């Protein structure tokens, strides 16, 4: 340290500037002797306060950071004719090489310079908010002393409640996510005279180049914004429903960390039952099918301080979701009649043979299948398990000419598995149906019935050649003749030959290929056997 010496008159623009400067200094008047200082032990002094020799007080005025000056001070502005015993001879001219590294004024405040502001800057940092930001910390001369970028990890902290140095607590206020700022802090609002550890010397002004990535308040709840609401929204999701939805998930700074679209598969889950993070469970309540929502979830309702996978700790999450469908396990089939003909008295029932057209689609309108594209009707026997249960239910009590929309939940459709390549798992299906034809079925359990009285000599009539036994050919010929004559009816929707074969086999008790009079019995005479 240079010895203090009363300052002379000084005309200073900034009369109480403190300077922090390294001295590669030399007093060349001393036969080459010099005082030299490394950068770690700067000379810190108030300018114009008489802490320096008059010449130096004068020479420092108007200097800027990183400026280097060579200063020559005559003895009358230095140590005069007396000098300093054993150090500076009388009448010495002193030469200094001064590099200014830092300066500040006790009147200084925190300086904030925003050099990037995002278009949407609605929410800004308030006292007690929790933030995640990246920063480079430098001294006024540009020397980097710390960087969160180098650690590859954001700095995470509360703002305005003393977790930070006062200058940072103030300098971060009013900042929005995506904004970039330079915050310049005088030492008395940073680490003061003591500095901080080996990195920050005493009396250092600090410059933080800050980029805010994340912002929330511990009091925040889930924020839900509906970005698209279908006009037709009769039903909203509630706890216990099973939802299928697509989503893009990102951090507040826009970093995408997950997407169902990338997997080309919806995310399927029960809601309100803890299968997803708390914020999602809440944010998915009250949605409509087809709705798009932005759900913003604070970390305490997401993955907390720990984070998970590529989700950093304490991160706010933004989910942009699109609800494809939802249902409840207690749902039945939903039938809406879109058209009924004037005469709608004959209604479909179990066993009836139906011919109908359909368009099948998913709730989001994705087309699955259509009989119209095949150019022929779909034909089934109602209640015989030829279609999924929901369809069987949706076709009941329908008259020819009627048009319906039938919504089928997955447990009455294709279930969790779906149909590979055609129907997604757990999908709700929509069928637009038009019934074109209905052939009344036979009473339950019958594959053939008589329209009229049964002939008393039935066996003899069937046994055409009168040899006392009936072969399949005789039996088949007889049944078909009865049907053709309108005396009997086969169950509609099945192969006649198969029915006849089955009837014959039932009568041929010993299975020898012929039915005897003994074997031949009417159904009504025997409880369990059907057909004849
Ligand atoms: Ca015969
Ligand atoms: Ca037999």
**Nearest ligand to the C-alpha atom of residue 517:** 2
What pLDDT score was predicted for residue 375?
87
Ligand (nearest to CA of 514): 2
Instruction: State residue 532's pLDDT score.
Output: 52
Q: Is 491 helix (H, G, I), strand (E, B) or coil?
A: coil
Over residues 217-268, the pLDDT tens digits come to 999 999 999 999 999 898 999 999 999 999 999 999 999 999 999 999 999 9
Residue-range domains of the chain with CATH: 18-104 (3.10.50.40), 111-216 (3.10.50.40), 223-327 (3.10.50.40), 334-439 (3.10.50.40), 448-525 (1.10.238.10)
What residues sit around ligand 1, an ion, with C-beta below 5 angstroms?
463, 465, 467
Give yes or no for a contact between 111 and 206, defined as CB atoms under 8 angstroms apart: no
pLDDT of residue 87: 83
- What number of CA atoms fall less than 13 Å from residue 505's CA on the CB side? 6
Name the closest ligand to CA 475: 1
Q: How many CA atoms lie within 13 A of 276 on its CB side?
A: 22
Compute, in angstroms, the gap from residue 453 CA to the centroid of ligand 2. 26
Average pLDDT, the chain: 88
User: Could you tell me the distance, in angstroms and rounded to a whole number, from the CA of residue 55 to the centre of ligand 1?
Assistant: 142
Distance 474 CA to ligand 2 centre (A): 14
- Per-residue burial over 468-477, b if 16 or more Cβ lie within 10 Å, else e, is ebbbbebbbe
CA angle, 302 then 329 then 415, to 5° = 95
Determine which helix (DSSP H) or strand (DSSP E) holds 497, and give its type and residue range: helix 496-507
Ligand 1 centroid to 503 CA: how many Å?
A: 17
Ligand 1 centre to CA of 486 (Å) is 24
Cα–Cα distance measured from residue 271 to residue 291, given in angstroms and rounded to the nearest whole number: 16
457 CA → ligand 1 middle, Å: 14
The stretches in the chain having pLDDT less than 50 are: 1-40, 526-531
Ligand of minimum distance to the alpha carbon of 512: 2
pLDDT at 424: 94
Residue 114: predicted pLDDT: 98
Residue 405: what are its φ and ψ, rounded to 5°?
-115, 125
Exposed, middle or buried, 301 (CB in 10 Å: 0-12/13-18/19+)?
A: buried
Measured distance CA(310)–CA(440) in Å, rounded:
62
Ligand 1 centroid to residue 442 C-alpha, Å: 29
- For residue 465, the CA-to-ligand 1 centroid distance in Å is 5
pTM: 0.78
Cα of 443 from ligand 2 centre, angstroms = 28
Ligand 1 centroid to Cα of residue 508, in Å, is 13
């Amino acid at each position: 340290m240079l010895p203090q010496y009363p300052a002379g008159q000084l005309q200073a623009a900034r009369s109480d500037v403190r300077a922090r400067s390294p001295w590669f200094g030399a007093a060349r008047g001393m036969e080459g002797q010099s005082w030299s200082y490394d950068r770690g032990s700067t000379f810190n002094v108030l300018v114009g306060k008489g802490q320096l020799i008059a010449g130096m007080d004068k020479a420092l005025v108007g200097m800027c950071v990183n400026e280097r000056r060579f200063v020559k001070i005559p003895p009358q502005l230095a140590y005069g004719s007396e000098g300093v015993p054993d150090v500076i001879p009388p009448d010495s001219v002193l030469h200094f090489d001064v590099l200014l590294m830092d300066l500040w004024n006790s009147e200084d405040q925190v300086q904030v310079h925003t050099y990037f502001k995002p278009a949407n800057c609605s929410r800004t940092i308030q006292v007690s908010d929790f933030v995640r930001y990246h920063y480079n910390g430098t001294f006024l001369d540009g020397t980097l002393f710390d960087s969160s970028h180098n650690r590859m990890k954001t700095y995470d902290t509360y703002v305005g409640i003393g977790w930070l140095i006062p200058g940072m607590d103030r300098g971060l206020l009013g900042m929005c996510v995506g904004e970039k700022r330079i915050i310049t802090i005088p030492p008395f609002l940073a680490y003061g005279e003591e500095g901080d550890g080996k990195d920050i010397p005493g009396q250092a002004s600090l410059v933080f180049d800050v980029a805010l990535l994340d912002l929330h308040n511990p009091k925040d709840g889930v924020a839900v914004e509906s970005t698209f609401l279908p006009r037709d929204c009769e039903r909203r999701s509630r706890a216990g429903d099973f939802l299928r939805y697509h989503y893009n998930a990102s951090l507040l700074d826009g970093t995408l960390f997950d997407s169902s679209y990338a997997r080309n598969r919806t995310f399927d889950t029960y809601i309100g039952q803890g299968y997803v993070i708390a914020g999602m469970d809440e944010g998915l309540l009250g949605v409509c099918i087809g709705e798009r929502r932005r759900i913003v979830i604070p970390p305490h309702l997401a993955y907390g301080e720990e984070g998970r996978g590529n989700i950093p700790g304490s991160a706010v999450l933004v989910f942009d979701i699109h609800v494809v469908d939802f249902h409840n396990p207690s749902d039945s089939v939903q039938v809406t009649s879109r058209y009924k003909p004037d005469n709608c008295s004959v209604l479909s029932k179990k066993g009836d043979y139906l011919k109908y057209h359909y368009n099948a689609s998913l709730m989001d309108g994705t087309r699955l299948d259509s009989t119209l594209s095949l150019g022929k009707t779909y034909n089934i026997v109602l209640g015989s398990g030829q279609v999924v249960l929901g369809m069987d239910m949706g076709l009941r009590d329908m008259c020819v000419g009627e048009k319906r929309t039938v919504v089928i939940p997955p447990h009455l459709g294709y279930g969790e598995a779906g149909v590979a390549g055609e129907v997604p798992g757990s999908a709700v299906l929509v069928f637009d149906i038009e019934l074109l034809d209905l052939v009344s079925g036979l009473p339950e359990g019958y594959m053939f019935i008589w329209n009229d009285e049964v002939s008393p000599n039935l066996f003899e009539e069937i046994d055409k050649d009168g040899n006392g036994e009936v072969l399949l050919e005789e039996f088949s010929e007889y049944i078909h003749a009865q049907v053709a004559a309108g005396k009997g009816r086969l169950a509609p929707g099945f192969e006649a030959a198969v029915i006849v074969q089955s009837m014959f086999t039932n009568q041929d008790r010993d299975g020898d290929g012929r039915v005897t009079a003994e074997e031949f019995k009417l159904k009504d005479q025997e409880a369990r056997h059907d057909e004849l």
